[in-house]
Amino acid sequence: MNNEQLQIFLDGHGADPSRWPAAQRVAVENFAASNAQARVLLERARRFDALLTRTAAHPVADEAAAARVLMRLSDLPAQRRPFWHWPLVLLDWQFAPAWPRMAALACCAAVGFVVGIAGLDRTLERYESLQTVTAQADIASIFEPEALTGARP
């Protein structure tokens, strides 16, 4: 490190070591300890920073300015809501007090979905159709003529 690099470092990071990057702090401190000109640069940077902080610390906006802004904010426009706002409002406002019923409804829907997907309802339908066919066959055999004699019941 040389004096020019130190000046650039101090301009970029200030003279307060607590603001320096940890990776460079030791190198800068060692350089300042071993070089009289570096210590002068460090002292100048400290004074410059103090002057900047002092200048910045002066209040530039009075309370009246803030009060005027607050006054102008008394009439507020409508807020911009995201598109999913209204469904959320319905959930929050209309149905929230009835959450047990909503939960029961959701459970019923879930059970119905599972039954539908797993095909549990189909087995019953198939059994019923089989029974019907069997019953029709039985009735037909009752009224069919005897194969050997041709006699009808």
Partner 1 sequence: MDDSDEALMARVARGDQPAFRALARRHVPAMVGLARRILGNTADAEDVAQEAMLRVWTHAPRWQPVAAFKTWLTRVVVNLCLDRKRRAAWVDLEEAGELVDRAPDAVERMETSERERQLQSAIEKLPDRQRAAIVLTYTEGMSNAQVADILDTSVSAVETLLIRGKQNLRRALGELIDEEG
In the complex, which residues of this chain contact partner 1 (CB under 8 A)? Answer: 8, 11-14, 19, 44, 47-49, 51-61, 63, 65-66, 68-70, 72-73, 76-82, 85
Minimum CB distance to partner 1 smaller for 29 or for 46:
46
42 burial (CB, 10 Å; 0-12 / 13-18 / 19+) is buried
Minimum CB distance to partner 1 smaller for 53 or for 129:
53
- As measured in angstroms, the least distance from the Cβ of 67 to partner 1 is 9
Q: How far apart are CA 150 and CA 153, in angstroms?
A: 10
- As measured in angstroms, the least distance from the Cβ of 56 to partner 1 is 4
- As measured in angstroms, the least distance from the Cβ of 103 to partner 1 is 24
Output the CA torsion sign for 16, 18, 21, 22: positive
Minimum CB distance to partner 1 smaller for 51 or for 120:
51
Q: How far apart are CA 143 and CA 152, in angstroms?
A: 7
Q: How far apart are CA 9 and CA 24, in angstroms?
A: 9
